[in-house]
């Protein structure tokens, strides 16, 4: 099956975004934690009493540390993969990458792999952290759905989950 003729036949539920199963709660919790860390560190830095609390360097370092923790929590909540008829957008902790379906050669989710890996046409391997082994059968089903999308929308004839 080639991708160009069949794009309109892909069921809409197959094009819903991939995210960790626990992510349904982890995302808002991570975002809330990020806000709490940023606000809490600013509050502590500005209201702390005692030795060293008058130092501007201490106050700034507490705020910067809180903001750094907030950014990390925010990135944990942002992990996902978003499919559409044109391709797949993978959002991991550090990077976001948009791929055309034809760029994906294989979907791999080997035993012991923490998340799905995509073999790309340019020889790269890209982790999809939005589909994780820790999610058990839900993670396996999501990996199968991604492999099905690659097979239906990609251009290479042999896309198998391995």
Determine what percent of the chain is predicted with pLDDT higher than 70.
80
Tokens linked to 59 = 């106050």
Looking at residues 131-151, what average pLDDT do you find?
90
CB distance 93 to 75 below 8 Å: yes
Determine what percent of the chain is predicted with pLDDT higher than 90.
31
Instruction: Tell me the average pLDDT of the chain.
Output: 82
Q: Are strands 87-91 and 96-100 parallel, antiparallel or unpaired?
A: antiparallel
Return the H-helix or E-strand segment holding 132: strand 125-132
CB distance 18 to 142 below 8 Å: yes
Q: Tell me the pLDDT tens digit for each residue of 120-129.
A: 999 999 999 9
- Cα separation, 58 vs 70, whole angstroms: 18
Give the pTM. Answer: 0.70
Q: Tell me the pLDDT tens digit for each residue of 50-109.
A: 887 778 888 888 888 888 888 888 888 888 899 988 899 999 988 999 999 999 999 999
Is the confidence at residue 17, as pLDDT, over 70? no
Return the H-helix or E-strand segment holding 151: helix 137-153
């Amino acid at each position: 099956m080639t991708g160009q003729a069949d794009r309109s036949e892909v069921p809409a539920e197959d094009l819903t975004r991939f995210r960790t199963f626990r992510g349904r709660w982890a995302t808002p919790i991570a975002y809330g934690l990020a806000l709490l860390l940023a606000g809490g560190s600013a509050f502590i830095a500005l209201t702390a009493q005692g030795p060293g609390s008058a130092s501007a360097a201490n106050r700034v370092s507490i705020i910067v540390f809180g903001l750094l923790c907030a950014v990390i929590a925010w990135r944990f909540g942002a992990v996902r993969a978003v499919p559409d008829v044109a391709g797949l957008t993978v959002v991991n902790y550090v990077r976001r990458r948009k791929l055309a379906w034809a760029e994906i050669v294989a979907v791999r989710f080997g035993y012991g792999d923490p998340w799905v890996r995509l073999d790309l046409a340019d020889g790269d391997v890209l982790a999809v952290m939005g589909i994780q082994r820790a999610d058990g059968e839900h993670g396996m089903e999501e990996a199968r759905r991604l492999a099905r999308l690659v097979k239906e929308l990609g251009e290479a004839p042999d896309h198998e989950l391995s």
